[in-house]
A and B are shown apart, each in its own frame.
Chain A
Amino acid sequence: MDIKAYIESGILDAFVLGALPAGEADRVQADIDQYPELAAEVAALQDAMFAYTSEDLMVPPAALQEKIWNELSTGANARQQIVFEEQNDDAFSGQLNSVPTGNNSKQIPLQASSSRFSWRYAATVAALVGSAGLNVYFWNQSKQQKQQLLAISTTVDSMHQQQKAMEFAANGFKKTTDMMADEGMNTVVMHTMLKGHPMAATLFLSKNKDKAYIMLNALPKPPAGMQYQLWAIHNGKPMNMGVLPNNMAGTPMIEPVSSPTPVMEGEAFAISLEKEGGSITPSVDSIYVMGRPS
């Protein structure tokens, strides 16, 4: 993909402005997920929009904070499953409201004249008191269940996150072991060149020297504006094997090396930290890890 042309086309700008039809926006999102350069551009565009929308700030009415907190902590948003108890609550209050009232009164006639007092009224009063008691009981129960559900859902969310991270790591390790077990591949482990900073990266080279794969699992994320670059030391000279995507650092991702030069062999291999886009030659101080093929 021609990243520069893609960016220049304005499609990412339309994406950030929410001006793409749904299907196209999904396709652009997939591209962004795949290419870190696009993700960086989108992040910058979003930052600019954020700054723009931060102008002339309007403050919401003061009472909203407490209202929203009440909604979040006890409100009906808690979880769908609570609907059942809430329907019960509604049903009870519906019953209270629908008790037949006198023609001119909006209140339930609890204090009718003594001459018209009857066991029917006594039974109604008893039913109302009982129903109110049940209301309180169910309300308390529902409140407790809401709290329990919230706690459970938080735990499930966090377990789900952990599981995703572990799956990602396990996939990475499986790829690594597959790669190491592949008889057509040589494994070169590059170790740290900076005393006191334990770092490592692994290069997998095909024995017929046409392919290389790299993993930066034990390298720190490069600072802004910097990027890792891979080198083959061939006949004592460093040969550029290309820059490496920043999102690989610290992860078990294994990616093919897209070397600008056809050099896939050397007496040693090294990774240096260079300015974004790479350098023509590595400076000695910038070499982070180095290793020799066995």
Chain B
Amino acid sequence: MRALAPIATTYTEEQLVTLLRQKSRDGFNYLYKNYSAHLYTVIRKVISDEATANDLLQEVFVKIWNNIGQYDNSRGRLATWMMNIARNAAIDKLRSRGEIMQSKIRSLDGFVTDSGPLPAKPATGEAIDVKNHVQQLKPEYRDIINLSYFQGYTFEEVAEELKMPLGTVKTRMRSAMQQLRAIYNVNREGK
């Protein structure tokens, strides 16, 4: 295996998109270095099996690589576009393997805490803050976000699962996302 070229530069999302469209290896290395852990984490939160998750990460990179020409920055950031590719690929895999039923059986609490093998945290200093962030989110909000985003439930299925009216689910989704925004202080003008 040959050594990877060192990456000394910081690219903006726009520059990275250009590099990826040129099928540049630097572009790939930068993409991998900066985004692979995030994409992998999204996948692992949906698919706990490590070997399947590894294959899926590869599929996700292939999708990004082949579809980068279709990425439209007026519709959102590159990072969120890629995050959605990873999430959708993982949910598709979950459904195709008939695992959706199994995942429904998993308890909500189990889902939140049991996210597979020991997570490798990139920076211990940050990890402490991060824990606090997660804990700030009300458990009922966390459940609703995890059920829909990481287990692929439609809001009708969420309503059924949590035995609450559809209207309440929508309101709770709104409140959950508002709390997330407040926790991460996200209040920006869209692109």
Interfacial residues, chain A to chain B (CB-CB below 8 A): 8-11, 13-14, 16-21, 32-33, 36, 39-61, 64-69, 71-73, 75, 77, 150, 154, 157-158, 160-161, 224-225, 246-247, 276
Give the residue among A10, A43, A225 with the most B Cβ atoms within 10 A.
A10
**Would you call A10 and B79 a contact (CB within 8 A)?**
no
Judging by beta carbons under 8 Å apart, are B23 and A39 in contact? no
Smallest CB gap from A9: residue in B: B170
Q: A42-B190, A64-B57 are in contact. List 6 more A-B contacts (CB 8 A).
A: A17-B148, A18-B87, A18-B88, A19-B153, A56-B127, A58-B119
Q: Which residues of A contact B83 (CB under 8 A)?
A: 46, 49-50, 53
Cβ–Cβ contact B130 & A14, under 8 A: no
Residues of B with C-beta under 8 A to A43:
76-77, 80, 188, 190-191
B1 contacts the other chain (CB 8 A): yes
Contacts of A66 in B (CB 8 A): 1, 4
The answer to whether B54 touches A55 (Cβ under 8 A) is no
Q: Which chain B residues lie closer than 8 Å to A224 at the CB level?
A: 188-189
Q: A51-B186, A57-B121, A60-B40 are in contact. Are A65 and B32 (CB under 8 A)?
A: yes
Q: Using Cβ atoms and an 8 Å threshold, which residues of chain A touch B45?
A: 53
Cβ of B134 within 8 Å of any chain A Cβ, yes or no, is yes
Q: B69-80 interface mask toward A, CB cutoff 8 Å, 1 = contact, 0 = none?
A: 100001111011
Residues of A contacting B133 in the complex (Cβ-Cβ under 8 angstroms): 51, 55
Take A18-B88, A59-B37, A69-B28 as given contacts and tell me if A51 and B184 are in contact as well, using a CB distance cutoff of 8 Å: yes
Asked if B190 and A56 sit within 8 Å, CB to CB, the answer is: no
Taking the closest CB of chain B, its distance from the CB of A37, in whole angstroms, is: 8
Least Cβ–Cβ distance between B185 and chain A, in angstroms? 9
* Binary A-proximity of B152-191 (CB < 8 A = 1, otherwise 0): 1111101000000000001111101100110110111111
A/B interface sample: 12 pairs, CB < 8 A: A10-B170, A16-B177, A17-B173, A19-B148, A40-B191, A46-B77, A50-B80, A56-B41, A58-B117, A65-B4, A150-B23, A161-B69
Q: Do B21 and A53 have beta carbons less than 8 Å apart?
A: no
Which residues of B have CB within 8 Å of A9? Answer: 170, 174
Expressed in whole angstroms, the minimum distance between the Cβ of B95 and any Cβ of chain A is 12
Q: Given A45-B177, A46-B76: A17 and B62 within 8 A (CB)?
A: no
Q: Is the CB of B122 within 8 A of A59?
A: yes
Bound-state CA distance A13–B158 (Å) is 14
Q: A14-B148, A17-B149, A58-B37 are in contact. Are A225 and B189 (CB under 8 A)?
A: yes
Q: Output the residue of B134, B170, B171 with the most chain A CB within 10 A.
A: B170
Name the residue on A nearest B80 (C-beta). Answer: A46
A58 in contact with B22 (CB, 8 Å): no
Residue B120 interfacial (CB < 8 Å) = yes
**Are A276 and B189 in contact (CB-based, < 8 A)?**
yes
Tell me, rounded to whole Å, the shortest Cβ–Cβ distance linking B36 to chain A.
6
Nearest Cβ in chain A — how far from B183, in angstroms? 8
Complex Cα gap A154–B134 (Å): 41
Give A184 to B162 CA distance when docked, in angstroms: 60
- A55 CB contacts on chain B under 8 angstroms: 130, 133-134
CB-CB under 8 A from A52, the residues of chain B are 137, 145, 180, 184
| A47 close to B184 (CB less than 8 A) | yes
Interface residues of B in 56-101 (CB under 8 A from A): 57-58, 61-62, 65-66, 69, 74-77, 79-80, 83-84, 87-88, 91
Q: Is the CB of A39 within 8 A of B191?
A: yes
Q: Are A47 and B77 in contact (CB under 8 A)?
A: yes
CB neighbours of B176 from chain A (8 A): 13
In the complex, how many angstroms separate the beta carbon of A289 from the nearest chain B beta carbon?
Answer: 22
Asked if B15 lies at the interface with its beta carbon under 8 angstroms from chain A, I say no
B115 contacts A by Cβ under 8 Å: yes
Sorted nearest first, the 5 A-B pairs with minimum C-beta distance are A40-B190, A157-B69, A10-B174, A43-B190, A10-B170
Contact partner, A8, options B41, B174, B189, B191, Cβ 8 Å: B174
Instruction: Kindly state the separation between the CA atoms of A169 and B180 in the bound complex, as whole angstroms.
Output: 39
